[in-house]
Amino acid sequence: MPTSDYDPACLPDLLPLYYRRLFPFSQYYRWLSYGGVSKNYFQNREFSFTLKDDIYVRYQSFTTQNELEKEMQKMVPYKVDIGAVYSHRPSQHNAVKSGTFQALEKELVFDIDMTDYDDVRRCCSAADICSKCWTLMIIAIRILDRALREDFGFHHLLWVYSGRRGVHCWVCDDAARKLSVAARSAVAEYLSLVKGGEETLRKVVLSDPIHPFINHSLSVVERYFQQYAIVEQDILCSKESVDKVLALLTTHIKKDLTIYYQDEKNPMKRWDRLCTNKAFHQGRLSSIKKGGQYFDKEIMLQYCYPRLDVNVSKGVNHLLKSPFSVHPKTGRISVPIDLKELNTFDPFEVPTISLICEELERPRADEAEEDDVKDKENEQEAGERRRIRDYKRTSLAKYVKVFDRFLEAMARSWKGEMLKKSGELETSFSVFLTFMSFTYT
Amino acid sequence: MQFSGRRKKLIGNFQNDLYDQCLQFYGQPPLENISLTEFETFAVERLKLLKTVENVGVSCVKNSEQYTKKLDAEISSLNFPHRGGISEYEKRRKDHISHFILRLAYCQTEDLRRWFIQQEMDLFRYRFNCLHSKHKTDFLHKNNLKYETVSAEEKKNLKDKLIASSYGLSGTKVEEHDVYKVPFQDALDLVRTRKVYLLAGNAYIPHHEIVTIVLNDFRTRLSKALAMTARSLPAVQSDERLQPLLSHLSHAYVGQDYSIQKNIGKISLEQIDALSGKSFPLCMRHLHKALRENHHLRHGGRMQYGLFLKGIGLTLEQALQFWRSEFVKGKVDADKFDKAYAYSVRHMFGKEGKRTDYTPYSCMKVILSNPPSQGDYHGCPFRHSDPELLKQKLQNYKVSPSGINQVCPTTSTHLTRFSTVCVKGFLKLNLVEDAGFSLNHPNQYFTESQKFLSGGRDIKKEVDMSQRSQENPASVTHPSQANSKQAHEEMGDLDSFFQDE
């Protein structure tokens, strides 16, 4: 499918069309209402918009789906961010007594940005990505998805392509939304293995015993490492990149490999030599520092393990780019990623706003009769139907389907929660009342 | 006002159920009637215990032999429940009631709450660790800590993973001891550092680590409870029987009160200047200097400094001479002094009016009561002085620059730490590593400093219980009440008597 060339200058014309006919408001509203289990959940949610000329407005909130639509169609935001659910309507936060306006809940989120891997990828840098380094995102998603589900017991994860150089994860379980700042940061730290900035050479340090989480992550990395790092990234080819790898090793091993690499140019053979060096040195206790026997694993992790920004995950009030938002620089829609098709997900195939707007304009003959019948229904529904028909005509369709499936799975849990809530008694005051009966003579 | 001499007798069975556990979470407030006597006694004794917990925690390594011995001794002597012995009903009842009374006294400010929670947590940790393993599990179950133990089969399946994730866990330990399944939100410290095995949102905590989890829970519950208590406090405080005691509990100093002057007449007036440089805490040194420079001190300063001097051993005659000689150098002539100021000095020594022998102010009292205003020199410099001025003062007193930085409190320093900081000043001045005491009273600073300088450093004795007995025949207050309560009440009269400046 040819991708229409996207020109940022067209955004002011394309966005109104997008918000009128393509943005999946109905599913979006359904998501953020979370089944109506908590009152005013949608109404107290903060949105922020970046408008034309980089004007940024916070504390936007809406009472109904209709209001959300109308406002977005009116303001035509270039970027939409989602924030926390507050104690009061964000749009009225100034009217609230200072100190009482507080962020209460929000999804647990993760942001994986390709730029954070610049020290270990050779193909691209900064905001660029290519099919070679995209593997890093696949690895990140597999590792984090498994950990969040199996270790932490979360079920409702939405992975979204950011539109340019990374992916986001929205953990939408009720328990996740209620996590405190401390809990969020603990989860993020648990998931972090690559530590250190410019100054640190050896960013991954493993010691005995290796935690099961690290073992799980290693098995994912090992699946991809050879093809990704040795072949595609070619980390053991040029002197420069070989030196970077050797810098992570002890002097003994470095010496041995330098000599070996003088003759052996095949990268795969070079890697093998590196790995077997462990066995070679097994007998020599002096060269095995505490945990120093895992240097091959450490290298693999340093080159491939997900790097997440703890600060994004920590804050309850942190604002993150909304799914189905448009990326102004690339024009790509932030679409949900279907994990079942992860291996074939191609960020360059993700539709741009220009593409889908163009697809919208292409008439489809077989639809003509259906239109007449359905327009007889009430206007809003008709409008919605039109819109549903609309996106279905475009490349956006399959991504909205992914979103639908995600919502369906959550909807089942909402039902359960509604039942639970009606049976709950308020116990918080019983202690208070008991205390008040404490008497003395 | 009805005072009941005896408490209500409880039915036997109820007794057993209510206090069948040595340790408790204090979830339910006591429901019985108690006498005012017991109310006061229980509260003061628990406060003593918590003070000991604090002191011992500062001076010994927690859970060391020394720590254990001291705390054990204090718990026994104060009659609190101890190591789950049989027929501890009375002690457990006291434990229960006294905790709730102190909640009333310590819920009011952030600082008080923090202190109370910290000491209660340390006490709880100590007592929990003393429990037998079986009792620990019983405790968890009885207190709705929904921490199930992992079945033997699951343990077997997960054995390798458990060993690989938890510190100090071996194969045998996994088999023999319990492993608890705790929601990960309750074990954040272990999760953050990846020191625990996680599965389906649960952390698998080995037996020896469960106390940390339990403590977190304890802290959360107590914190919430105190917030709630603070809200309902106005109702309680309006009861005039309780209000004085509660407010004094939170200011109470329950250590030595220096009303018994050990060194009467051993200090000569000529020594005071030198002593002020060496052995006076900063507040008194400050007052002394101000007195020498201005030949005057206002009422607050006279009280704080005058009583301190009494505490270090000055006789009434010496005090009169001291104050007169200084005031006369200023604007006050001998006649005026005898008329106006001498009376107050004699009053301090219990020779006038109600003839109460006033006790020198404790640090708590200095810090919390009567903050200084323009023209005053009393108070606690670490609490009341402008930080810049404080630094300058310390420089003048020849404390090294690095010492100054360590000693000066920051905005986050809270109430009970000011005395710690004062002690640090002592350390810096005398170039010592460990003071060996935690400071509660300016006169204590003086005594310790003198001890140190004279080369005789013996381990600080346990709080002298004899201070409870009244030396003063003139007082009519209840023997079990904290001395400062009485002092404060009387102080009110004295304050209103002297209206000057």
Please state, in angstroms and rounded to a whole number, the distance separating the CA atoms of residues A187 and A153.
12
**Is B465 inside any structural domain?**
no
Percentage of residues in chain B having pLDDT higher than 90: 15
| Per-residue pLDDT at B417 | 60
User: Are B135 and B148 contained in the same domain?
Assistant: no
CA distance B217 to chain A (A): 15
Q: Closest chain A residue to B227 measured between Cα atoms?
A: A432
Q: What share of chain B is helix, strand, coil (3-state, %, to 5)?
A: 60, 5, 40
**Residue-wise pLDDT tens digits, B465-489:** 233 333 333 333 333 333 333 333 3
Please judge whether A432 and B3 are an interchain contact, meaning their C-beta atoms are less than 8 angstroms apart.
no
Please state, in angstroms and rounded to a whole number, the distance separating the CA atoms of residues A92 and A86.
11
Please state, in angstroms and rounded to a whole number, the distance separating the CA atoms of residues B18 and B24.
11
pLDDT at A158 over 90: yes
Distances (CA, A) of A217 to A145, A147, A322, B335: 11, 9, 28, 89
What is the token pair recorded at A55?
């004007």
Please state, in angstroms and rounded to a whole number, the distance separating the CA atoms of residues B191 and A183.
9
Give every CB contact of residue A386 below 8 A, 6+ residues apart in sequence.
Answer: A21, A371
The owner of tokens 């100190």 is A99
Distances (CA, A) of A246 to A263, A269, A289, A296, B263: 16, 15, 17, 11, 74
pLDDT at B190 over 80: yes
| Per-residue pLDDT at B433 | 58
Amino acid found at B451? K
User: Are B296 and B439 contained in the same domain?
Assistant: yes
User: Are B286 and B389 contained in the same domain?
Assistant: yes
Give the domain range for residue B152: 144-209
CB contact A195 to B (< 8 Å): no
User: Are B150 and B123 contained in the same domain?
Assistant: no
CA distance B100 to chain A (A): 9
Query: Is residue A113 flagged as an active site residue?
Result: yes
**Residue-wise pLDDT tens digits, B146-158:** 678 888 889 888 9
CA distance A273 to chain B (A): 28
Least confident of A165-179, A408-422, B7-21, B86-100: B7-21
Query: Is residue A198 flagged as an active site residue?
Result: no
At A145, the pLDDT band (50, 70, 90 cuts) reads very high
Please state, in angstroms and rounded to a whole number, the distance separating the CA atoms of residues B269 and B470.
29
CA of residue A96 relative to chain centroid, distance: 33
| Per-residue pLDDT at B258 | 64
Mean pLDDT of A225-243: 90
| Per-residue pLDDT at B408 | 63
Please state, in angstroms and rounded to a whole number, the distance separating the CA atoms of residues A245 and A227.
17
User: Are B109 and B135 contained in the same domain?
Assistant: yes
Buried b (16+ CB within 10 A) or exposed e, A402-418: bbeebbeebeebbeeee
Q: What is the dihedral of CA A54, A55, A56, A59, to 10 degrees?
A: -160
**Is B126 inside any structural domain?**
yes
Greater confidence (B349 vs A300) lies with A300
Q: Write down which residue in B422, B438, B454 finishes a domain.
A: B454
CB contact B98 to A (< 8 Å): no
CB contact B198 to A (< 8 Å): yes
CB contact A291 to B (< 8 Å): no
Q: Closest chain B residue to A429 measured between Cα atoms?
A: B228
> Using an 8 Å Cβ cutoff, are A97 and A112 in contact?
no
Please judge whether A441 and B29 are an interchain contact, meaning their C-beta atoms are less than 8 angstroms apart.
no
pLDDT at A278 over 80: no
Please tell me whether the interface predicted TM-score (ipTM) of this complex is above 0.90: no
**Is B52 inside any structural domain?**
yes
The strands making up B148-149's β-sheet, listed across from edge to edge, are B148-149, B179-183, B202-206, B197-199
pLDDT at B497 over 50: no
CATH number belonging to domain A8-106+316-363+377-420 = 3.90.920.10
User: Are B205 and B225 contained in the same domain?
Assistant: no
Please judge whether B164 and A182 are an interchain contact, meaning their C-beta atoms are less than 8 angstroms apart.
no
At B452, the pLDDT band (50, 70, 90 cuts) reads confident
CB contact B61 to A (< 8 Å): no
Greater confidence (B11 vs B220) lies with B220
Domain range summary for chain A, segments of one domain joined by +: 8-106+316-363+377-420, 212-304
Please judge whether B201 and A213 are an interchain contact, meaning their C-beta atoms are less than 8 angstroms apart.
no
Within chain B, what is the greatest distance between any pair of CA atoms?
A: 93
**Is B169 inside any structural domain?**
yes
User: Are B204 and B221 contained in the same domain?
Assistant: no
User: Are B277 and B348 contained in the same domain?
Assistant: yes
pLDDT at A343 over 50: yes
Comparing C-alpha atoms, which of B363, B181, B341, B169 is closest to residue B257?
Answer: B363
At B233, the pLDDT band (50, 70, 90 cuts) reads confident
| Per-residue pLDDT at A188 | 97
Would you tell me how many other CB atoms lie within 10 Å of the CB of residue A24?
19
> Using an 8 Å Cβ cutoff, are B66 and B73 in contact?
no
| Per-residue pLDDT at B114 | 83
- Between strands A45-50 and A56-60, the pairing is antiparallel
Mean pLDDT of B225-246: 81
Please state, in angstroms and rounded to a whole number, the distance separating the CA atoms of residues B186 and B211.
12
| Per-residue pLDDT at B87 | 62
**Is B488 inside any structural domain?**
no
**Is B256 inside any structural domain?**
no
Please state, in angstroms and rounded to a whole number, the distance separating the CA atoms of residues B335 and B323.
13
Please judge whether A438 and B29 are an interchain contact, meaning their C-beta atoms are less than 8 angstroms apart.
yes
CB contact B158 to A (< 8 Å): no
3-state secondary structure of A172: coil
| Per-residue pLDDT at B376 | 84
At B456, the pLDDT band (50, 70, 90 cuts) reads low
Residues of chain A contacting B36 with CB distance shorter than 8 Å? 440
Least confident of A343-347, A361-365, B280-284, B431-435: B431-435
Greater confidence (A232 vs B20) lies with A232
Distances (CA, A) of B75 to A402, B127, B257: 64, 10, 22
Number of structural domains found in chain B? 3
**Residue-wise pLDDT tens digits, B114-130:** 889 989 999 998 888 88
Greater confidence (B461 vs A17) lies with A17
Is B283 assigned a ligand-binding role in the annotation? yes
Q: Closest chain B residue to A432 measured between Cα atoms?
A: B228
Mean pLDDT of A279-286: 52
User: Are B79 and B169 contained in the same domain?
Assistant: no
Tell me what the pLDDT averaged over chain B comes to: 75
Least confident of B148-162, B169-183, B354-368: B354-368
> Using an 8 Å Cβ cutoff, are A174 and A413 in contact?
yes
CB contact B200 to A (< 8 Å): yes
CB contact A423 to B (< 8 Å): no
3-state secondary structure of B422: helix
B50: exposed, middle or buried (Cβ count in 10 Å: 0-12, 13-18, 19+): buried
Catalytic residue among A69, A105, A107, A111: A111
Is B380 assigned a ligand-binding role in the annotation? yes
Please judge whether A439 and B202 are an interchain contact, meaning their C-beta atoms are less than 8 angstroms apart.
no
**Residue-wise pLDDT tens digits, B3-61:** 333 333 333 444 456 677 778 888 888 888 888 888 888 888 898 889 888 877 776 77
Report which listed range, A108-122, A244-258, B79-93, is most confident: A108-122
CB contact A426 to B (< 8 Å): no
pLDDT at B494 over 50: no
Please state, in angstroms and rounded to a whole number, the distance separating the CA atoms of residues B462 and B256.
10
Please state, in angstroms and rounded to a whole number, the distance separating the CA atoms of residues A434 and B455.
56
| Angle between helix A134-146 and A212-225 (nearest 10) | 150
Q: A81 phi and psi, to 5 degrees?
A: -120, 150
Give every CB contact of residue B110 below 8 A, 6+ residues apart in sequence.
Answer: B414
Please judge whether A151 and B36 are an interchain contact, meaning their C-beta atoms are less than 8 angstroms apart.
no
Please state, in angstroms and rounded to a whole number, the distance separating the CA atoms of residues A248 and A298.
9
User: Are B303 and B419 contained in the same domain?
Assistant: yes
> Using an 8 Å Cβ cutoff, are B26 and B222 in contact?
yes
Percentage of residues in chain A having pLDDT higher than 90: 62
Please judge whether A432 and B228 are an interchain contact, meaning their C-beta atoms are less than 8 angstroms apart.
yes
Mean pLDDT of A396-418: 91
Mean pLDDT of B406-429: 61
Residues of chain B contacting A190 with CB distance shorter than 8 Å? 191-192, 194, 198
CATH of the domain at B103: 1.20.930.80
**Residue-wise pLDDT tens digits, A363-400:** 665 555 455 555 555 666 766 667 667 888 899 999 99
Please judge whether A440 and B197 are an interchain contact, meaning their C-beta atoms are less than 8 angstroms apart.
no
Chain A interface, best mutation among B165, B196, B204, by max A CB count within 10 A? B165
Chain B interface, best mutation among A207, A426, A441, by max B CB count within 10 A? A441
CA distance A255 to chain B (A): 33
Compute the radius of gyration of chain B from its Cα atoms. 26
The number of C-alpha atoms within 13 Å of B300 and in the hemisphere containing its C-beta is: 17
| Per-residue pLDDT at B467 | 33
3-state secondary structure of B204: strand
> Using an 8 Å Cβ cutoff, are B359 and B259 in contact?
yes
User: Are B389 and B446 contained in the same domain?
Assistant: yes
Amino acid found at A144? L
Least confident of B51-55, B82-86, B443-447: B82-86
**Is B501 inside any structural domain?**
no
* CB < 8 Å from A in window 248-307 of B: none
pLDDT at B62 over 60: yes
Please state, in angstroms and rounded to a whole number, the distance separating the CA atoms of residues A375 and A378.
8
Q: Write down which residue in B187, B209, B231 finishes a domain.
A: B209
**Residue-wise pLDDT tens digits, B282-291:** 899 999 999 9
Catalytic residue among A69, A113, A298, A359: A113
> Using an 8 Å Cβ cutoff, are A220 and A142 in contact?
yes
Mean pLDDT of A131-155: 96
User: Are B196 and B223 contained in the same domain?
Assistant: no
Compute the radius of gyration of chain A from its Cα atoms. 26
- Between strands A56-60 and A320-321, the pairing is unpaired
Please judge whether B27 and A431 are an interchain contact, meaning their C-beta atoms are less than 8 angstroms apart.
yes
**Residue-wise pLDDT tens digits, B299-344:** 889 999 999 999 888 889 999 999 999 999 988 888 888 888 888 8
Please judge whether A434 and B28 are an interchain contact, meaning their C-beta atoms are less than 8 angstroms apart.
yes
Residues of chain B contacting A212 with CB distance shorter than 8 Å? 161, 164-165, 197
| Per-residue pLDDT at B137 | 74
Query: Is residue A7 flagged as an active site residue?
Result: no
Strands (E), A189-299: none
Tell me what the pLDDT averaged over chain A comes to: 87
**Is B116 inside any structural domain?**
yes
